[in-house]
A and B are shown apart, each in its own frame.
Chain A
Amino acid sequence: MSQFLQHLINMLVLGGTYALLGIGLTLIFGIMNVVNFTHGVLYTFGAYIMFIVVHQLGVNFFLALPLAVVAGWLLGAAIELTLLRPLRGSDIDTTMLVMIGAWIAMQSGALWIWGGVAKSVTTPFPEAPLVLGPVSVSWLRLFVLAAAAMLIVVTYLLINKTKLGGAMRATFQDRDTASLMGVNVDLIYTSTFAIGSSLAAAAGALLGPVYVIFPQMGDLAAVKAFAIVILGGLGNITGAVIGGFILALAEELGAGYVSSGYRDAMGFLIIIAVLIFKPTGLFARSERVG
């Protein structure tokens, strides 16, 4: 029983960051119809920004986090302005190829700048974990969960309660009509991509200190993000959040009770099942685009 509780705690902590990864990707796909292959690199970028800001500039850990989010936002905006804006109106395959190229170029850039050897970030949290009866969890991971939850709520409010969010949702439903209603679609696209990118960078900045940081760290993260997005339905933010927790649960229970060798396969087995039985995702809306 205590093992099961421990798996549940692990699932909550892991699920929070998976959700964060998923919503950034699903937002960009839903609104822009762009399959963002640079998502994993932006995750890596966020982690390296943490490393640079904390270790090379000597800035406080808690101050470094918002800096990483801002850096992710700026890089996302730059990618949108230089790569995606000139390609607007071209078919999804062309955009996909350009994004794959950007992914490879940026990952090689990270390798060139920082080298292949993993780096780690020291945190101000105590080494001793928080013990709650039979289960225990590190303070750093609790902080990561809290920060991820906060970012998810902020994103939700931004999309559902603000004017920008309203314009984003209008663009999502019908780009041409939104444009006719006076929505600046170019601005919406840049904002969407920048927000999605900053969420990926935030996930990297939060998880980098938990694990270790290296140029290819984003690859597995991106694969999981795609899995979550498929699970939750493309373009569905609530679906991505729930999908993140389902994937984490499948991995934890799969590794704990089936076989740890197939831990990373568990999530994908679920996705195959979802694609067979409910191909639009578990929580897809009927008017979904793309």
Chain B
Amino acid sequence: MKRTFRIVPAIALAVAVMGGVAEAQTIKIGVNEPLTGAFAASGTYVVNGAKIAADEINAKGGILGKKLELVIEDNKSNPTEAAAVAEKLITSDKVPVLMGAWGSSLTLAVMPKLMEYEVPMVVETSSSGKITTTGNPFIFRISPPSAIEAAAFKGIVDKLELKKVDFLVINNDWGRGTAEDFSKMMKEKGITVGSIETMDQGAQDMSAQLSKLKGTDSETIIVTTAVDQLTLIFKQAAALGLKKRIITTGGSQNPDQIIAQAGAAANGTMHLTTFLPWFPDKTPNPEATNYFIAEWKKRGYDFAGCTESFRGYDGIRTAAAAIEKAGKAEPAAIKAALWEINIKGLNGDIVFKKSGPAGKESGQSQPNVYLIEIVDGKIGMKTL
């Protein structure tokens, strides 16, 4: 009887220790994405892409002999929530590295938390220039800032014979940043910039803005926003009889979804994207692209989401490569290792170069940018 009493606490202790060991057997990456709200579709695609990367890594034995675990949280497309989610992931889940937060305003809201807790974050989608120029050494961005997009677009403006352009952009850091960077490039090229119209991120009716743009003497409209608002814009532009050329930026267009939902209204539109799932052979890394697309289809996801989800896939592979290189799952080591990695992303090599004020540079990779055109409901590639 006495013996039993001695054994019980011993077993309890053993269970507790083993439980503790089991918990430390995974390496966590915090994923901070919009799964509800205005950017729900995009954020969900990115998370699904991230899961493919995690499963692929785990199937090959994980990292540092441990399983990779994604801790996924919804930032509700809301900057306040994005900051709260980052804090929760860092302090409660103890993740040593984050990926997020899709939108520029969301990422900008998270950035002070990274400074506070000294945890690095791989930025997979955001394109506002501010993210890598304000001096946050915990930021490592794999998506192109709008200035890179504008520079890539510069080569083709003569061929498109642009004379005067208007802008219709989402009223946040992403949209306003894009309007600024593209206006600058246009002016250098001698193209007149007309009116710059904005729309709220949750707005569903852009008829008023489009009616105004219909009346201007510009021949082209540059539109920057995510896919849900884009399809509404194409439908509403068609309903208003707006027949100007529309070029979208930002890489969150999901062109197949636009074709499916906007129909004929999508014809003749052009889109600056950062991935070519339609032409795997033209991507920098065809083998990986084919694997990713096959896996995406196998899981029954909508093909339209590929242009968005590849970023989640690349983002997780970037973070995992850094953990591997660091040799331990600790924020400072991962941050140092991020500067040294060189992995083959689906949209070019992911190598971080210094960006921003000296001494506290952020990392910026140099991804490719492509221009595609929708003709007769099909996607064609334009040479930049």
Residues of A whose CB lies within 8 Å of any CB of B are 2-3, 6-7, 10, 14, 111, 115-118, 120, 127-129, 131, 136-138, 141, 211-212, 214-217, 220, 251-252, 254-256, 259-261, 263-264
Instruction: Report the separation of the CA atoms of residues A124 and B263 in the bound assembly, to the nearest whole angstrom.
Output: 14
The secondary structure that dominates the B interface is helix
Select which of B205, B261, B263 is within 8 A of A14 by beta carbon: B205
B216 closest partner in A (C-beta): A3
Shortest beta-carbon distance from B327 to chain A in Å: 38
Residues of B whose CB lies within 8 Å of any CB of A are 35-37, 40-41, 44, 74, 171, 197-200, 202-205, 207-209, 211-212, 214-215, 228, 231-232, 235, 238-241, 261, 263-265
| Inter-chain contact B265/A6, CB cutoff 8 Å | no
| Inter-chain contact B215/A116, CB cutoff 8 Å | no
Contact partners of A138 in chain B: CB under 8 A: 235, 238-239
Listed by A's residue number, 12 A-B pairs whose Cβ atoms lie within 8 Å are: A2-B215, A10-B208, A14-B207, A116-B36, A128-B238, A137-B239, A138-B235, A214-B36, A216-B37, A260-B209, A263-B200, A264-B200
A17 closest partner in B (C-beta): B205
Given A136-B239, A261-B171, decide whether A212 and B197 contact each other with a Cβ distance below 8 A.
no
| Inter-chain contact B240/A129, CB cutoff 8 Å | yes
Shortest beta-carbon distance from A71 to chain B in Å: 22
Shortest beta-carbon distance from A265 to chain B in Å: 9
| Inter-chain contact A120/B261, CB cutoff 8 Å | yes
| Inter-chain contact A255/B209, CB cutoff 8 Å | yes
Contact partners of B265 in chain A: CB under 8 A: 127
Shortest beta-carbon distance from B132 to chain A in Å: 25
Given A118-B228, A212-B231, A216-B36, decide whether A136 and B212 contact each other with a Cβ distance below 8 A.
no
B265 closest partner in A (C-beta): A127
Select which of A111, A115, A251, A256 is within 8 A of B212 by beta carbon: A256
| Inter-chain contact A136/B241, CB cutoff 8 Å | yes
Shortest beta-carbon distance from A64 to chain B in Å: 19
Contact partners of A254 in chain B: CB under 8 A: 208
Shortest beta-carbon distance from B82 to chain A in Å: 15
Given A118-B40, A212-B231, decide whether A260 and B204 contact each other with a Cβ distance below 8 A.
no
Contact partners of B232 in chain A: CB under 8 A: 211-212
Instruction: Report the separation of the CA atoms of residues A259 and B205 in the bound assembly, to the nearest whole angstrom.
Output: 15
Given A261-B198, A264-B203, decide whether A117 and B44 contact each other with a Cβ distance below 8 A.
yes
Select which of B35, B198, B205, B241 is within 8 A of A129 by beta carbon: B241
| Inter-chain contact B199/A260, CB cutoff 8 Å | yes
Contact partners of A217 in chain B: CB under 8 A: 204
| Inter-chain contact A214/B40, CB cutoff 8 Å | yes
Select which of B40, B199, B208 is within 8 A of A117 by beta carbon: B40
Sample of 14 further A-B pairs with CB below 8 A, known A137-B240, A260-B198 = A6-B214, A6-B215, A10-B208, A10-B211, A111-B36, A117-B40, A117-B41, A118-B228, A127-B238, A128-B238, A214-B40, A252-B208, A256-B212, A260-B209
Contact partners of B241 in chain A: CB under 8 A: 129, 131, 136
Instruction: Report the separation of the CA atoms of residues A255 and B213 in the bound assembly, to the nearest whole angstrom.
Output: 11
Report, nearest first, the 7 A-B pairs whose CB atoms are least far apart.
A116-B36, A138-B239, A255-B208, A3-B215, A116-B40, A211-B204, A136-B241
Instruction: Report the separation of the CA atoms of residues A103 and B117 in the bound assembly, to the nearest whole angstrom.
Output: 36
| Inter-chain contact B197/A6, CB cutoff 8 Å | no
| Inter-chain contact B36/A263, CB cutoff 8 Å | no
B176 closest partner in A (C-beta): A261
B302 closest partner in A (C-beta): A117
A220 closest partner in B (C-beta): B202
Contact partners of A261 in chain B: CB under 8 A: 171, 198
